[in-house]
Structure formats: structure tokens, C-alpha cells
Chains A and B, each alone.
Chain A
Amino acid sequence: MTGQKSAPGWRELPHGAVPYKSSREYKTGDWGVLKPKIDFGRCTKCTLCHFYCPEGAIRMRGDGYPEVDYDFCKGCGICAAECPVKCIEMVRRG
């Protein structure tokens, strides 16, 4: 989220602590230390990573392969742990 200095002051914020932005704009992806790297050569398009991702940050592309949305991936590693062919490696975020 935006830094404390650039965010609105208390007089500007909506009444009753109502969020004025959608959580879509809250890029939780920057919380992570690690990120998944998928080896598409070994991926079997089984979709387990998509279904196990607790953030819904892995979507299945039209060609059947998964794609990670790094804006929201928190790097928990569940996809890597669940992948039956172990084609997902957790690497440090650059």
C-alpha cells in the first residue's frame, strides 16, 4: 500500500473507515520473499496449482498452462508443494 506520507490525511478519509479503493489495487504481491517459477517443459497442465493457490493468483491460460499474477502472489509455496511433477521452483524475488 502507499506510504504513510503520500496517503490521505484523517480529514480526507471516508467516514467510518470505509475503504475508498478496491482490494484489487492493494498489491499484496510485494509481501513475499520467494516467488514460484514454473518449468513449462515439465508442466502437465493438471491445474492443481490453480486450485490450491489460496490467493487465486494462478490462472489457467487459453493454452492450458498456468500463469502467476505476481501482483498478488505472496510466495507461500503451496503451488510448488502440491505440484505432482515438481515443475514449480520457489526462487527469490529480484
Chain B
Amino acid sequence: MTVVEQKLLGLNGDEAVAYAIKQVNPDVVAAYPITPQTIIVERFSEYVADGEVETEFIAVESEHSALSTCIGAEAAGGRAFTCTAANGLALMWEMTYIAASLRLPIVMAVVNRALSAPINIHNDHSDSMGARDSGWIQLYCENSQEAYDTAIQAWRIGEHPEVQLPVMICLDGFILSHTLENVLTLPDEVVREFIGERSFPRVQGHLGEAEFRLDPEHPITMGPLDLYDFYFEHKRPQVEAMKRALPVIEEVGREYGRISGRTYSLLHPYRLEDAEIAVVGLGSTMGTARVVVDRLRSRGVKAGLLRVRAFRPFPAHEILKALSHVEAVGVLDRCASFGALGGPLFMEVRNAFYDSAERPIISDYIYGLGGRDMSMEMLEEVFKSLEEDRRAGRPLELVRYIGLRE
């Protein structure tokens, strides 16, 4: 397969997702508008009104209903998409676990926004981070191009026979959702060919073997009462499916690269090979950090970065390989985990190194809550403190707050 010719469009992050989903042409889209996700719903409903998709668009009365509708549609064998943000995701809470535990490969865009209270519409990762144990795959996007590309790959990842899990595409509210960027888009038929048809695992139902979907001709039961005699055995395969998603995310990212010229993986390192100090983080901040790394490199500082694209499943082994040689690592968390040792990403990264003989100094930097900007100057400050940690041979502070007025 060779890289296909692509059309360059000016799209913001939300429009990029909506455009990708238009090309995917799912059976059902059920969504409730909430800032900063609204543009996805608006654009998509225009595609429906203009007859550009065959999708059944269901305008629901809440996010709980949006995800419930997607669960029903996917259980019936369809492809379903939804999108939300912050309090909308919080209202979906119950259904996020049900979607994942029923093993329904729904695709949902979460346009990351701070949770209330106090009410705030701007970006941080507190919404999707709260859902990190719900059993959804979580992929964090750096720019609008990646949001478009991920909204296509997500179907292949979630629906993979070895995975069968829902996928959350996380993109930073406003920073990506409302910022116009150049986005290369694939031809419709290439997208359709790439995603193919949804396939169904064969299951042993109560009336014999059947496809895993609700079909009156070959009935199965989904979501039965499951008590202490079976529930535990039904949770364990979810753990396994997440592990199997790791190579699938890489495999799909490579295959996508062959047609688009843009290859995706679990982790995206930058100038890390000989780095002495590095930052690890998610989403759009890592684009800013790349410029800062270049700036520091030009001054002779051996700085690097590691962008984590897949937070769930967490690529612990790959992180270990990527960072073992680095002397001081700063984890950037756009989310506070109240009462915990540090932010969610910090806890995962630091934990990954517990059994390793080669352990960098690892500290946490909580930043950007409620949309507080993370400037290049702030990132330089982060690297400066990492350099101090490196010289001291220990983290001078385990958790630091960047851009916070003292």
C-alpha cells in the first residue's frame, strides 16, 4: 500500500473529528451538546441534514442517554459514536463502565474540559482521567490532525477481535477543539476500506453458538445478573483485552501510516536518545514542549520529551525502555488526584520503574487546571528544576505546581 493523495482542509479539532466520523458513516450517533464538544455535534447534524451520511442521528435528552443509546446500537450490531466533555462525561459515568464491560467497541470523543465546581469550560484532563478505570481505551491527541487520524483508527482498535473495547479519543478543549489548523484528509473510500466492516466474535449462548450481537434469529443474553460465582471471572478478561490492545494500537497506527504517511504508536518520543532531562505528558502541551526542547538543545541542554498517546492501556514496558537512560524525568499532569501521591500520569510512570535497576529521578508537575495556559517559559522552568534535581541526585520537590500563584 502506498500513501494516498490527500485533501488539505482548514479544520479545528472538533471539525476534524466530525469530518472523520462523516467518512466513517456510523450507523448511530447519539450525542448531547456541551462546550467545548458542541461543534462536533453541530457539524455532524449538518452532515445528517444534508444527506452526506446514512447515520441515524439521535438527539437525546442527556449524556447518560447518549451513551445508553450507543450501547443499544452497538449491542444490536451497529457502529455507534458519541462525544462529550467534563460534566457530560460525569453524567455518563454509570454507562461508561457498562459499555466497556459489555465489550462494545463504541467510539467517543472526549473534548477535555475541567470538571465543576467552580464551573469552568476550559481545558484540563480531570474529566477523562476520572474515567481511567472504566475500561475504555484512552488515546490523547496532540493536534487536530491527530484528532482526525485517531477518529479513524479508533474503530479498528476497538473492534479488533482481540480487543473488543470502547475507545475514548481525548483532545484538549479549546486549545485543539476551537483552533483552526491544516488537516490532511483521506478520500472517503480509503477511510471506508481502512475501517472495513465490524466483525463479531462467536460466543456460546444459551441456545448454542452465535455472533456477539442481539439478533432475534440467534438470541443471546447481554448484561445478565452476575453474582459472586461468575462476576470475578467476567472481569479478568477485561484486564486481558486491555493488554492485548497495546500491540493492536501500534499495529493499526503503523497500517494507518502506510496509507496516510502519518504513523502512530503508543508513545511519541522526541530527542530522547541522549537526553539527560525529559518531560512526559499528554496532549497539546507536548507540541509546545517540543519547541522548548529545541530551544534548550540549541543552548546545549540535553533535553527531550516523551508524549504518551495511549494512557489506557498504559504502556509501562515501553515507557521503561524509553526513559531508563534519562537522569531526571518530569511528569506533566493536567489533573490533580486529590489525596494521592501525585497526578494520575505521575503515579503510573513512577510505578512502572519500581522494579527497574535503572531508575530516573521522577517528579510531578501539576499544571494548567481549568485552562491555565502552559507557556514555553513555564516549560523552561520545568526543565530548569529538572536540571536542579539531576544535580542534586534526587527530586528537590516530589510534586510541583506550575503556573500557580502562590
Q: Which residue of A lies closest to B75 (CB)?
A: A16
Interchain CB contact under 8 A, A13 and B233: yes
Q: Mark A14-55, 1 if CB is under 8 A from B, else 0.
A: 111111111100000000000000000000000000000000
Residues from chain B with Cβ under 8 Å of A20 in the complex: 203-206
Further pairs besides A16-B222, A21-B206, A22-B206: 8, Cβ < 8 Å: A4-B228, A7-B229, A8-B233, A11-B237, A13-B230, A17-B102, A18-B221, A19-B221
Looking at chain A, what size class is its interface with the partner chain?
20 to 34
**Which of A4, A8, A19 has most B Cβ within 10 Å?**
A19
Interchain CB contact under 8 A, B203 and A10: no
Residues of B311-325 at the interface with A, using a CB-CB cut-off of 8 Å, are none
Residues from chain B with Cβ under 8 Å of A14 in the complex: 203-205
How long is the Cα–Cα vector from A1 to B237 in the complex, in angstroms?
Answer: 21
**A9 contacts chain B at the CB level, 8 A cutoff:** yes
Given contacts A4-B229, A15-B164, A18-B220, contact A10 B236 (CB under 8 A): yes
- By Cβ-Cβ distance, the 6 closest A-B pairs, closest first, are A10-B233, A10-B236, A16-B103, A22-B206, A14-B203, A17-B234
Interchain CB contact under 8 A, B230 and A7: yes
Interchain CB contact under 8 A, B229 and A1: yes
Residues from chain B with Cβ under 8 Å of A17 in the complex: 101-102, 222-224, 226, 230, 234
How long is the Cα–Cα vector from A9 to B101 in the complex, in angstroms?
Answer: 18
**B212 contacts chain A at the CB level, 8 A cutoff:** yes
A-B contact pairs, 24 of them (CB 8 A): A1-B229, A7-B230, A10-B234, A13-B233, A14-B203, A15-B164, A15-B201, A15-B203, A15-B237, A16-B201, A16-B203, A17-B222, A17-B223, A18-B204, A18-B205, A18-B212, A18-B222, A19-B205, A19-B224, A20-B203, A20-B205, A20-B206, A22-B207, A23-B206
Q: Which residue of B lies closest to A11 (CB)?
A: B237
Chain B interface residue count, CB cutoff 8 Å, equals 25
Residues from chain A with Cβ under 8 Å of B222 in the complex: 16-18
A15: min CB distance to chain B, Å? 5
Given contacts A1-B229, A7-B229, contact A19 B234 (CB under 8 A): no
How long is the Cα–Cα vector from A11 to B234 in the complex, in angstroms?
Answer: 9
Residues from chain B with Cβ under 8 Å of A8 in the complex: 233
Given contacts A20-B205, A21-B206, contact A15 B229 (CB under 8 A): no
Q: Which residue of A lies closest to B221 (CB)?
A: A19
How long is the Cα–Cα vector from A14 to B102 in the complex, in angstroms?
Answer: 12
B229: min CB distance to chain A, Å? 6
Residues of B193-236 at the interface with A, using a CB-CB cut-off of 8 Å, are 201, 203-207, 212, 220-224, 226, 228-230, 232-234, 236
B388: min CB distance to chain A, Å? 48
Residues from chain A with Cβ under 8 Å of B206 in the complex: 19-23
